[in-house]
Amino acid sequence: MRVSEIAMVTPKTVMECLMYLSNRGQDARLLAGGTDAIVQMKEKVGRPKIWINIGKLDELRFIREVGNEIHIGSLSTHTELANSKLIRSRASVLAEAAERVGATQIRNMGTIGGNIATASPAGDTLPALYVLDAELELQSFAKKRRIKIADFFLGPRRTLLQNDEIITKIIIKPMQENEIGIFEKLGPRRAQAISIVNVAIKLSMGSKARQCLAGKIAFGSVAPTIVRASKCEAMLTLGLLTDQHIEDIGKVAWREVSPISDIRASAIYRKDMAGALLIRGLYRLMKRWEDQ
Amino acid sequence: MPEINFTVNGRSVSVNTYPAKTLLDVLREDLDLTGSKECCGKGECGSCSVIVGDEVVCSCLILVGQIEGEEIQTVEGVGSLEQLDPLQVAFLECGATQCGYCTPGIIVAVKAYLEKLNRIPTQDEIKEALAGNLCRCTGYVKIIEAVAKAAKQQFV
Ligand SMILES: Cc1cc2nc3c(=O)[nH]c(=O)nc-3n(C[C@H](O)[C@H](O)[C@H](O)COP(=O)(O)OP(=O)(O)OC[C@H]3O[C@@H](n4cnc5c(N)ncnc54)[C@H](O)[C@@H]3O)c2cc1C
Protein backbone atom coordinates (compact mmCIF):
# COMPACT_ATOMS: atom_id res chain seq x y z
CA MET A 1 0.00 0.00 0.00
CA ARG A 2 1.40 3.36 -0.98
CA VAL A 3 0.78 6.34 1.24
CA SER A 4 -0.85 8.12 -1.70
CA GLU A 5 -3.42 5.32 -1.94
CA ILE A 6 -4.57 5.55 1.66
CA ALA A 7 -8.00 7.13 2.00
CA MET A 8 -9.28 9.07 4.98
CA VAL A 9 -12.68 9.52 6.52
CA THR A 10 -13.42 12.06 9.23
CA PRO A 11 -16.50 11.07 11.23
CA LYS A 12 -18.37 13.85 12.99
CA THR A 13 -19.84 11.71 15.73
CA VAL A 14 -18.74 8.66 17.65
CA MET A 15 -21.70 6.73 16.26
CA GLU A 16 -20.65 7.55 12.70
CA CYS A 17 -17.13 6.38 13.55
CA LEU A 18 -18.41 3.10 15.00
CA MET A 19 -20.51 2.52 11.92
CA TYR A 20 -17.43 2.86 9.69
CA LEU A 21 -15.57 0.49 11.95
CA SER A 22 -18.30 -2.12 11.93
CA ASN A 23 -18.34 -2.05 8.11
CA ARG A 24 -14.67 -1.53 7.34
CA GLY A 25 -12.90 -2.45 10.60
CA GLN A 26 -10.54 -4.82 8.77
CA ASP A 27 -9.23 -2.17 6.40
CA ALA A 28 -9.34 0.85 8.65
CA ARG A 29 -7.20 2.21 11.42
CA LEU A 30 -8.03 4.95 13.88
CA LEU A 31 -5.93 8.08 13.74
CA ALA A 32 -5.89 10.35 16.81
CA GLY A 33 -2.76 12.46 17.41
CA GLY A 34 -0.78 10.39 14.92
CA THR A 35 2.43 10.41 16.95
CA ASP A 36 2.62 6.62 16.89
CA ALA A 37 0.44 5.83 13.88
CA ILE A 38 2.11 8.19 11.39
CA VAL A 39 5.61 7.21 12.45
CA GLN A 40 4.54 3.63 11.73
CA MET A 41 2.96 4.56 8.42
CA LYS A 42 6.27 6.10 7.38
CA GLU A 43 8.13 2.99 8.53
CA LYS A 44 5.78 0.94 6.33
CA VAL A 45 4.23 -0.95 9.22
CA GLY A 46 0.54 -0.84 9.97
CA ARG A 47 -0.52 0.94 6.79
CA PRO A 48 -4.30 0.75 6.58
CA LYS A 49 -6.45 1.20 3.47
CA ILE A 50 -8.37 3.93 5.27
CA TRP A 51 -7.50 6.25 8.09
CA ILE A 52 -10.43 7.01 10.34
CA ASN A 53 -9.48 10.46 11.57
CA ILE A 54 -11.07 10.71 15.01
CA GLY A 55 -9.43 14.07 15.74
CA LYS A 56 -12.69 15.95 15.24
CA LEU A 57 -14.71 13.91 17.72
CA ASP A 58 -15.02 16.62 20.34
CA GLU A 59 -17.35 14.32 22.31
CA LEU A 60 -14.20 12.44 23.33
CA ARG A 61 -12.36 15.50 24.61
CA PHE A 62 -13.23 16.05 28.28
CA ILE A 63 -11.89 15.62 31.79
CA ARG A 64 -14.54 15.70 34.49
CA GLU A 65 -15.55 14.48 37.90
CA VAL A 66 -18.54 12.15 37.86
CA GLY A 67 -19.69 10.99 41.30
CA ASN A 68 -16.61 9.51 42.94
CA GLU A 69 -14.81 8.94 39.65
CA ILE A 70 -12.84 11.02 37.18
CA HIS A 71 -13.77 10.47 33.53
CA ILE A 72 -11.20 11.27 30.87
CA GLY A 73 -12.18 11.36 27.19
CA SER A 74 -9.77 9.29 25.13
CA LEU A 75 -8.87 12.24 22.87
CA SER A 76 -7.51 14.29 25.76
CA THR A 77 -3.93 15.23 24.96
CA HIS A 78 -0.96 14.92 27.28
CA THR A 79 -0.85 18.72 27.46
CA GLU A 80 -4.50 18.81 28.54
CA LEU A 81 -3.87 16.17 31.21
CA ALA A 82 -0.78 17.91 32.52
CA ASN A 83 -2.59 21.27 32.70
CA SER A 84 -5.93 20.05 34.05
CA LYS A 85 -6.64 21.40 37.55
CA LEU A 86 -8.69 18.33 38.33
CA ILE A 87 -5.95 15.90 37.29
CA ARG A 88 -3.22 17.92 38.99
CA SER A 89 -5.10 18.01 42.28
CA ARG A 90 -6.88 14.65 42.34
CA ALA A 91 -4.70 12.41 40.15
CA SER A 92 -1.33 14.13 40.33
CA VAL A 93 0.57 10.98 39.42
CA LEU A 94 -1.11 10.99 36.00
CA ALA A 95 -0.38 14.71 35.48
CA GLU A 96 3.28 14.02 36.26
CA ALA A 97 3.39 11.13 33.81
CA ALA A 98 1.73 13.15 31.03
CA GLU A 99 4.20 15.97 31.65
CA ARG A 100 7.10 13.60 31.00
CA VAL A 101 5.86 12.38 27.60
CA GLY A 102 8.00 13.48 24.63
CA ALA A 103 8.28 17.26 24.37
CA THR A 104 5.83 20.15 23.87
CA GLN A 105 4.92 19.28 20.28
CA ILE A 106 4.33 15.59 21.06
CA ARG A 107 2.30 16.39 24.18
CA ASN A 108 0.14 18.78 22.16
CA MET A 109 -0.58 16.07 19.59
CA GLY A 110 -0.48 12.75 21.46
CA THR A 111 -3.59 11.51 23.23
CA ILE A 112 -4.13 9.28 26.22
CA GLY A 113 -6.28 6.95 24.10
CA GLY A 114 -3.43 6.56 21.64
CA ASN A 115 -0.93 5.93 24.42
CA ILE A 116 -3.12 3.12 25.75
CA ALA A 117 -4.05 1.58 22.38
CA THR A 118 -0.41 1.55 21.25
CA ALA A 119 0.22 -0.76 24.21
CA SER A 120 3.94 -0.13 24.38
CA PRO A 121 5.45 -1.60 27.56
CA ALA A 122 7.13 1.81 27.95
CA GLY A 123 3.98 3.97 27.59
CA ASP A 124 4.35 6.63 30.26
CA THR A 125 0.74 7.15 31.27
CA LEU A 126 0.17 3.42 31.79
CA PRO A 127 1.84 2.87 35.21
CA ALA A 128 0.02 5.95 36.50
CA LEU A 129 -3.28 4.55 35.24
CA TYR A 130 -2.54 1.22 36.95
CA VAL A 131 -2.05 2.78 40.38
CA LEU A 132 -5.19 4.89 39.90
CA ASP A 133 -7.25 1.70 39.31
CA ALA A 134 -8.17 2.83 35.83
CA GLU A 135 -10.91 1.21 33.81
CA LEU A 136 -11.47 1.67 30.10
CA GLU A 137 -14.75 2.08 28.32
CA LEU A 138 -14.67 0.35 24.94
CA GLN A 139 -17.47 0.93 22.52
CA SER A 140 -18.54 -0.74 19.29
CA PHE A 141 -21.64 -0.09 17.22
CA ALA A 142 -23.44 -2.90 19.01
CA LYS A 143 -22.20 -2.59 22.56
CA LYS A 144 -20.24 -0.88 25.29
CA ARG A 145 -18.00 -2.60 27.82
CA ARG A 146 -15.94 -1.45 30.76
CA ILE A 147 -12.77 -3.34 31.65
CA LYS A 148 -9.91 -2.99 34.09
CA ILE A 149 -6.75 -1.61 32.56
CA ALA A 150 -4.66 -4.59 33.67
CA ASP A 151 -6.99 -6.91 31.73
CA PHE A 152 -6.71 -4.82 28.57
CA PHE A 153 -3.08 -5.58 27.73
CA LEU A 154 -2.19 -9.00 26.36
CA GLY A 155 1.45 -8.25 25.54
CA PRO A 156 3.60 -5.69 23.78
CA ARG A 157 1.36 -3.98 21.21
CA ARG A 158 -1.41 -6.54 21.82
CA THR A 159 -4.68 -5.65 23.51
CA LEU A 160 -8.23 -6.85 23.91
CA LEU A 161 -9.47 -4.10 21.57
CA GLN A 162 -11.52 -5.58 18.72
CA ASN A 163 -11.25 -3.98 15.31
CA ASP A 164 -14.78 -2.61 15.52
CA GLU A 165 -14.15 -0.95 18.89
CA ILE A 166 -12.72 2.32 20.12
CA ILE A 167 -11.63 3.46 23.54
CA THR A 168 -14.10 6.19 24.44
CA LYS A 169 -13.06 7.05 27.96
CA ILE A 170 -10.79 6.24 30.85
CA ILE A 171 -12.23 6.12 34.33
CA ILE A 172 -9.98 6.60 37.36
CA LYS A 173 -10.43 6.83 41.11
CA PRO A 174 -9.48 10.27 42.40
CA MET A 175 -6.81 10.37 45.08
CA GLN A 176 -7.95 11.05 48.64
CA GLU A 177 -6.67 13.69 51.08
CA ASN A 178 -4.22 11.26 52.63
CA GLU A 179 -3.00 9.88 49.32
CA ILE A 180 0.17 10.95 47.54
CA GLY A 181 1.60 9.84 44.25
CA ILE A 182 4.65 10.22 42.06
CA PHE A 183 5.86 9.23 38.60
CA GLU A 184 9.55 8.62 37.93
CA LYS A 185 11.10 7.93 34.56
CA LEU A 186 14.56 7.11 33.33
CA GLY A 187 15.46 7.82 29.72
CA PRO A 188 18.64 8.70 27.83
CA ARG A 189 17.68 12.36 28.14
CA ARG A 190 14.97 14.26 29.96
CA ALA A 191 12.79 14.99 26.96
CA GLN A 192 11.74 13.02 23.91
CA ALA A 193 12.89 9.73 25.39
CA ILE A 194 11.23 6.36 25.48
CA SER A 195 11.44 5.14 29.06
CA ILE A 196 14.16 2.63 29.90
CA VAL A 197 12.26 2.11 33.14
CA ASN A 198 9.37 4.04 34.60
CA VAL A 199 7.41 3.68 37.80
CA ALA A 200 4.26 5.11 39.34
CA ILE A 201 3.66 5.01 43.07
CA LYS A 202 0.53 5.86 45.06
CA LEU A 203 0.50 5.69 48.87
CA SER A 204 -2.22 6.16 51.49
CA MET A 205 -0.61 7.73 54.51
CA GLY A 206 -1.60 7.26 58.16
CA SER A 207 -1.53 9.70 61.04
CA LYS A 208 1.94 8.67 62.30
CA ALA A 209 5.07 10.03 60.65
CA ARG A 210 5.94 8.03 57.54
CA GLN A 211 3.19 5.53 58.23
CA CYS A 212 1.87 3.97 55.07
CA LEU A 213 -1.52 2.29 55.27
CA ALA A 214 -1.57 0.91 51.73
CA GLY A 215 0.20 1.51 48.48
CA LYS A 216 0.37 0.65 44.81
CA ILE A 217 3.50 0.46 42.69
CA ALA A 218 3.52 -0.15 38.92
CA PHE A 219 6.62 -0.49 36.74
CA GLY A 220 6.81 0.04 32.99
CA SER A 221 9.34 -1.07 30.39
CA VAL A 222 10.57 -4.01 32.48
CA ALA A 223 8.17 -6.75 31.29
CA PRO A 224 5.87 -7.44 28.31
CA THR A 225 3.20 -5.32 29.98
CA ILE A 226 3.09 -3.01 32.99
CA VAL A 227 3.72 -4.95 36.23
CA ARG A 228 2.40 -4.29 39.69
CA ALA A 229 5.15 -4.86 42.27
CA SER A 230 3.16 -6.84 44.79
CA LYS A 231 6.09 -7.83 47.04
CA CYS A 232 7.22 -4.22 47.30
CA GLU A 233 3.63 -3.14 47.90
CA ALA A 234 3.31 -5.62 50.76
CA MET A 235 6.50 -4.27 52.34
CA LEU A 236 5.13 -0.71 52.33
CA THR A 237 2.92 -1.47 55.31
CA LEU A 238 5.34 -3.68 57.24
CA GLY A 239 6.96 -0.74 59.01
CA LEU A 240 7.29 3.02 58.91
CA LEU A 241 8.85 4.25 55.66
CA THR A 242 12.18 5.18 57.19
CA ASP A 243 15.14 5.72 54.89
CA GLN A 244 16.36 2.23 55.81
CA HIS A 245 13.01 0.62 55.07
CA ILE A 246 12.83 2.43 51.71
CA GLU A 247 16.25 1.01 50.80
CA ASP A 248 15.04 -2.46 51.73
CA ILE A 249 11.94 -2.12 49.56
CA GLY A 250 14.12 -0.99 46.67
CA LYS A 251 16.27 -4.10 47.01
CA VAL A 252 13.24 -6.30 46.38
CA ALA A 253 12.29 -4.51 43.15
CA TRP A 254 14.60 -6.62 40.98
CA ARG A 255 12.56 -9.70 41.86
CA GLU A 256 9.38 -8.10 40.58
CA VAL A 257 10.57 -7.30 37.08
CA SER A 258 11.54 -9.44 34.10
CA PRO A 259 13.07 -7.06 31.57
CA ILE A 260 14.69 -7.85 28.25
CA SER A 261 17.90 -6.46 26.84
CA ASP A 262 17.39 -4.26 23.80
CA ILE A 263 19.04 -1.34 22.08
CA ARG A 264 17.99 0.99 24.84
CA ALA A 265 19.33 -0.92 27.85
CA SER A 266 20.44 -4.33 29.13
CA ALA A 267 18.17 -6.40 31.32
CA ILE A 268 20.53 -6.10 34.28
CA TYR A 269 20.71 -2.33 34.01
CA ARG A 270 16.93 -2.17 33.87
CA LYS A 271 16.64 -4.33 37.02
CA ASP A 272 19.06 -2.11 38.89
CA MET A 273 17.33 1.03 37.71
CA ALA A 274 13.90 -0.29 38.68
CA GLY A 275 15.11 -0.47 42.27
CA ALA A 276 16.85 2.90 42.07
CA LEU A 277 13.80 4.66 40.65
CA LEU A 278 11.55 3.14 43.28
CA ILE A 279 13.86 4.29 46.08
CA ARG A 280 14.12 7.76 44.58
CA GLY A 281 10.34 7.96 44.18
CA LEU A 282 9.67 6.87 47.76
CA TYR A 283 12.24 9.32 49.14
CA ARG A 284 10.74 12.18 47.18
CA LEU A 285 7.24 11.21 48.27
CA MET A 286 8.26 11.21 51.93
CA LYS A 287 9.87 14.61 51.49
CA ARG A 288 6.71 15.98 49.87
CA TRP A 289 4.49 14.48 52.57
CA GLU A 290 6.65 15.95 55.32
CA ASP A 291 6.82 19.37 53.64
CA GLN A 292 3.07 19.51 53.17
CA MET B 1 -8.21 13.49 -5.22
CA PRO B 2 -10.18 15.32 -2.57
CA GLU B 3 -10.03 19.06 -2.11
CA ILE B 4 -8.82 20.07 1.33
CA ASN B 5 -9.43 23.57 2.66
CA PHE B 6 -7.70 25.32 5.50
CA THR B 7 -6.07 28.63 6.44
CA VAL B 8 -2.34 29.32 6.35
CA ASN B 9 -1.02 32.54 7.88
CA GLY B 10 -4.47 34.09 7.61
CA ARG B 11 -4.95 33.15 3.95
CA SER B 12 -7.55 30.57 2.89
CA VAL B 13 -6.05 27.85 0.74
CA SER B 14 -7.41 24.79 -0.95
CA VAL B 15 -5.26 21.95 -2.19
CA ASN B 16 -6.06 18.90 -4.26
CA THR B 17 -3.93 16.08 -3.00
CA TYR B 18 -4.09 12.71 -1.36
CA PRO B 19 -5.21 12.96 2.28
CA ALA B 20 -2.30 10.99 3.75
CA LYS B 21 0.27 13.47 2.49
CA THR B 22 1.94 15.14 5.44
CA LEU B 23 1.11 18.75 6.17
CA LEU B 24 4.85 19.47 5.90
CA ASP B 25 5.02 18.15 2.33
CA VAL B 26 1.88 20.06 1.38
CA LEU B 27 3.30 23.30 2.78
CA ARG B 28 6.60 22.85 0.96
CA GLU B 29 5.48 21.27 -2.31
CA ASP B 30 1.92 22.44 -2.93
CA LEU B 31 2.00 25.85 -1.24
CA ASP B 32 5.64 26.76 -1.81
CA LEU B 33 6.13 27.63 1.86
CA THR B 34 9.58 26.18 2.34
CA GLY B 35 10.36 27.76 5.71
CA SER B 36 9.30 24.63 7.59
CA LYS B 37 12.02 22.02 7.27
CA GLU B 38 12.15 18.25 7.31
CA CYS B 39 14.93 16.77 9.38
CA CYS B 40 14.11 13.59 11.32
CA GLY B 41 10.64 13.09 9.88
CA LYS B 42 9.42 11.45 13.09
CA GLY B 43 8.61 14.13 15.57
CA GLU B 44 11.89 14.23 17.43
CA CYS B 45 13.68 17.32 16.16
CA GLY B 46 11.06 20.08 15.80
CA SER B 47 12.40 21.47 12.48
CA CYS B 48 8.93 21.14 10.97
CA SER B 49 7.11 22.89 13.84
CA VAL B 50 3.98 24.82 12.88
CA ILE B 51 1.14 26.22 14.95
CA VAL B 52 -2.28 24.63 14.52
CA GLY B 53 -4.96 26.66 16.30
CA ASP B 54 -2.79 27.93 19.13
CA GLU B 55 -0.56 24.93 19.71
CA VAL B 56 2.80 24.04 18.27
CA VAL B 57 2.91 20.62 16.58
CA CYS B 58 5.14 18.66 14.22
CA SER B 59 3.87 19.06 10.66
CA CYS B 60 5.77 15.92 9.61
CA LEU B 61 3.37 13.78 11.67
CA ILE B 62 0.13 15.46 10.64
CA LEU B 63 -1.70 14.37 7.53
CA VAL B 64 -3.24 17.10 5.47
CA GLY B 65 -6.60 15.33 5.62
CA GLN B 66 -6.62 15.97 9.36
CA ILE B 67 -6.43 19.74 9.07
CA GLU B 68 -9.53 20.48 7.03
CA GLY B 69 -10.90 23.78 8.37
CA GLU B 70 -7.96 24.44 10.71
CA GLU B 71 -5.85 27.57 11.04
CA ILE B 72 -2.15 27.04 10.49
CA GLN B 73 0.67 29.46 11.21
CA THR B 74 4.11 28.78 9.74
CA VAL B 75 7.35 30.67 10.13
CA GLU B 76 6.37 32.72 7.06
CA GLY B 77 3.51 34.10 9.15
CA VAL B 78 5.76 35.22 12.02
CA GLY B 79 6.92 38.69 10.97
CA SER B 80 8.08 39.63 7.49
CA LEU B 81 11.36 40.82 6.01
CA GLU B 82 10.11 44.40 6.21
CA GLN B 83 8.71 44.01 9.69
CA LEU B 84 10.35 41.36 11.82
CA ASP B 85 8.60 40.00 14.87
CA PRO B 86 10.24 41.26 18.11
CA LEU B 87 11.18 37.66 18.75
CA GLN B 88 13.11 37.52 15.48
CA VAL B 89 14.84 40.77 16.35
CA ALA B 90 15.91 39.21 19.64
CA PHE B 91 17.32 36.21 17.75
CA LEU B 92 19.32 38.54 15.49
CA GLU B 93 20.60 40.64 18.36
CA CYS B 94 21.71 37.59 20.32
CA GLY B 95 23.21 35.84 17.31
CA ALA B 96 20.97 32.91 18.05
CA THR B 97 21.34 31.20 14.72
CA GLN B 98 24.19 29.31 13.13
CA CYS B 99 23.50 27.15 10.07
CA GLY B 100 19.87 28.19 10.33
CA TYR B 101 18.22 24.87 9.56
CA CYS B 102 16.50 24.53 12.93
CA THR B 103 15.73 28.24 13.24
CA PRO B 104 12.30 28.36 11.56
CA GLY B 105 11.02 25.54 13.78
CA ILE B 106 12.45 27.20 16.84
CA ILE B 107 10.95 30.58 15.95
CA VAL B 108 7.54 28.95 15.56
CA ALA B 109 7.86 26.99 18.82
CA VAL B 110 8.95 30.11 20.68
CA LYS B 111 6.14 32.14 19.14
CA ALA B 112 3.56 29.68 20.46
CA TYR B 113 5.31 29.62 23.83
CA LEU B 114 5.46 33.41 24.22
CA GLU B 115 1.78 33.81 23.37
CA LYS B 116 0.85 31.65 26.37
CA LEU B 117 3.25 33.17 28.87
CA ASN B 118 1.83 35.07 31.81
CA ARG B 119 5.15 35.92 33.45
CA ILE B 120 8.87 36.02 32.71
CA PRO B 121 10.07 32.40 32.43
CA THR B 122 13.14 30.93 34.12
CA GLN B 123 15.99 29.44 32.10
CA ASP B 124 14.81 25.95 33.02
CA GLU B 125 11.30 26.70 31.84
CA ILE B 126 12.63 27.93 28.51
CA LYS B 127 14.72 24.79 28.12
CA GLU B 128 11.73 22.63 28.94
CA ALA B 129 9.56 24.49 26.43
CA LEU B 130 12.14 24.01 23.67
CA ALA B 131 13.11 20.43 24.50
CA GLY B 132 11.44 19.29 21.29
CA ASN B 133 13.64 21.46 19.05
CA LEU B 134 17.13 20.22 18.29
CA CYS B 135 19.98 22.39 17.03
CA ARG B 136 22.78 20.31 15.58
CA CYS B 137 25.16 23.26 15.67
CA THR B 138 24.39 23.15 19.43
CA GLY B 139 23.96 26.90 19.67
CA TYR B 140 21.58 26.53 22.57
CA VAL B 141 23.05 29.14 24.89
CA LYS B 142 22.31 32.00 22.51
CA ILE B 143 18.92 30.60 21.59
CA ILE B 144 17.91 30.54 25.24
CA GLU B 145 19.30 34.06 25.71
CA ALA B 146 17.22 35.28 22.78
CA VAL B 147 14.05 33.69 24.12
CA ALA B 148 14.67 35.17 27.56
CA LYS B 149 15.17 38.58 25.97
CA ALA B 150 12.00 38.35 23.88
CA ALA B 151 10.03 37.15 26.90
CA LYS B 152 11.27 40.01 29.05
CA GLN B 153 10.36 42.58 26.39
CA GLN B 154 6.85 41.24 26.45
CA PHE B 155 6.44 42.29 30.08
CA VAL B 156 7.92 45.79 30.07
C1 LIG C 1 9.18 12.02 19.21
C2 LIG C 1 8.23 11.18 20.03
C3 LIG C 1 8.40 11.08 21.39
C4 LIG C 1 7.54 10.29 22.15
N5 LIG C 1 7.75 10.23 23.50
C6 LIG C 1 6.94 9.45 24.25
C7 LIG C 1 7.14 9.38 25.65
O8 LIG C 1 8.04 10.01 26.21
N9 LIG C 1 6.31 8.56 26.37
C10 LIG C 1 5.31 7.85 25.79
O11 LIG C 1 4.59 7.14 26.49
N12 LIG C 1 5.09 7.92 24.46
C13 LIG C 1 5.87 8.70 23.67
N14 LIG C 1 5.66 8.76 22.32
C15 LIG C 1 4.61 7.95 21.72
C16 LIG C 1 3.26 8.66 21.49
O17 LIG C 1 3.44 10.05 21.42
C18 LIG C 1 2.22 8.37 22.58
O19 LIG C 1 2.03 6.99 22.70
C20 LIG C 1 0.88 9.06 22.28
O21 LIG C 1 0.10 9.10 23.45
C22 LIG C 1 0.08 8.36 21.18
O23 LIG C 1 -1.16 9.03 21.00
P24 LIG C 1 -1.67 9.50 19.58
O25 LIG C 1 -2.94 10.21 19.80
O26 LIG C 1 -0.61 10.23 18.85
O27 LIG C 1 -1.92 8.09 18.89
P28 LIG C 1 -2.02 7.71 17.34
O29 LIG C 1 -0.67 7.67 16.75
O30 LIG C 1 -3.07 8.51 16.67
O31 LIG C 1 -2.58 6.22 17.49
C32 LIG C 1 -1.81 5.19 18.05
C33 LIG C 1 -2.58 3.88 17.99
O34 LIG C 1 -3.70 3.92 18.85
C35 LIG C 1 -4.91 3.72 18.12
N36 LIG C 1 -5.88 4.62 18.74
C37 LIG C 1 -5.75 5.97 18.92
N38 LIG C 1 -6.80 6.46 19.60
C39 LIG C 1 -7.61 5.39 19.86
C40 LIG C 1 -8.87 5.25 20.54
N41 LIG C 1 -9.50 6.30 21.09
N42 LIG C 1 -9.41 4.02 20.62
C43 LIG C 1 -8.78 2.96 20.08
N44 LIG C 1 -7.60 3.03 19.43
C45 LIG C 1 -7.02 4.24 19.33
C46 LIG C 1 -4.56 4.04 16.69
O47 LIG C 1 -5.39 3.32 15.80
C48 LIG C 1 -3.13 3.59 16.60
O49 LIG C 1 -3.06 2.21 16.39
C50 LIG C 1 6.49 9.56 21.53
C51 LIG C 1 6.30 9.67 20.16
C52 LIG C 1 7.16 10.47 19.38
C53 LIG C 1 6.95 10.57 17.91
Contact yes or no for B106/B143 (Cβ under 8 A): yes
Residues A44 and A64 both lie in one domain: no
The rounded distance, in Å, linking the Cα atoms of A137 and A259 is 29
Complex-level ipTM: 0.97
| Residue A26 pLDDT greater than 90, yes or no | no
Among the candidates A150, A172, A194, a domain finishes at: A172
State residue B136's pLDDT score. 92
**How many domains does one find in chain A?**
3
CATH number of the domain that residue A197 is part of? 3.30.390.50
Q: Do A197 and A265 sit in the same domain of this protein?
A: yes
Cβ of A192 below 6 Å from ligand 1? yes
Instruction: List pLDDT tens digits, range B104-135.
Output: 999 999 999 999 999 999 999 999 999 999 99
Q: Is A14 in the pocket of ligand 1 (CB under 6 A)?
A: no
Q: What is the model's pLDDT at position A149?
A: 98
B3 burial (CB, 10 Å; 0-12 / 13-18 / 19+) is: exposed
**DSSP label at A5?**
G
Chain A residues with CB inside 8 Å of B18's CB? 3-6
Q: What is the mean pLDDT of residues B82-86?
A: 96
**pLDDT for residue B156:** 82
Q: Kindly state the average pLDDT of the residues A153-174.
A: 97
Give how far B83 is from chain A: nearest CA, Å: 27
How confident is the model at residue B138, as a pLDDT? 85
Q: For residue A283, is pLDDT > 90?
A: yes
Does A42 share its domain with A100? no
Q: Where are the domains of chain B?
A: 3-77, 86-155
Shortest CB distance from B19 goes to which of A7, A190, A192? A7
C-alpha dist (Å) from residue A222 to A85, A199, A267, B120: 31, 10, 8, 40
Q: Say which CATH number the domain at A43 has.
A: 3.30.43.10
Superfamily (CATH) of domain B86-155:
[2Fe-2S]-binding domain (1.10.150.120)
Report which of residues A87 and A1 the model is more confident about: A87
Q: Write the DSSP assignment of B39-90 as a string of letters.
A: SSSSSSS-TTEEEETTEEEEGGG-BGGGGTT-EEE-GGGS--SSS--HHHHH
Residues for chain B: how many in total?
Answer: 156
| CATH number reported for the structural domain that contains residue A63 in this entry | 3.30.465.10
Co-location of A247 and A280 in the same domain: yes
The CB of A30 under 6 Å from ligand 1? The reply is yes
Chain-chain contact of B20 with A51 (C-beta, under 8 angstroms): yes
Over range B6-17, report the average pLDDT: 98
Tell me the pLDDT of chain A averaged across its residues: 96
The response to whether residue B40 sits with its C-beta less than 6 Å from ligand 1 reads: no
A29 and A45 inside one domain = yes
> What pLDDT, on a 0 to 100 scale, did the predictor assign at position A30?
97
Band of residue A268 on the pLDDT scale cut at 50, 70, 90 = very high
Fold of the B3-77 domain: Ubiquitin-like (UB roll) (3.10.20)
CB-based contacts of B102: which residues, under 8 Å, 6+ apart?
B37, B39, B45, B46, B47, B133, B134, B135, B136, B137
The domain in which residue A260 lies consists of 181-291
Mutation choice for ligand 1 from A94, A101, A138, CB with most ligand atoms inside 8 A = A101
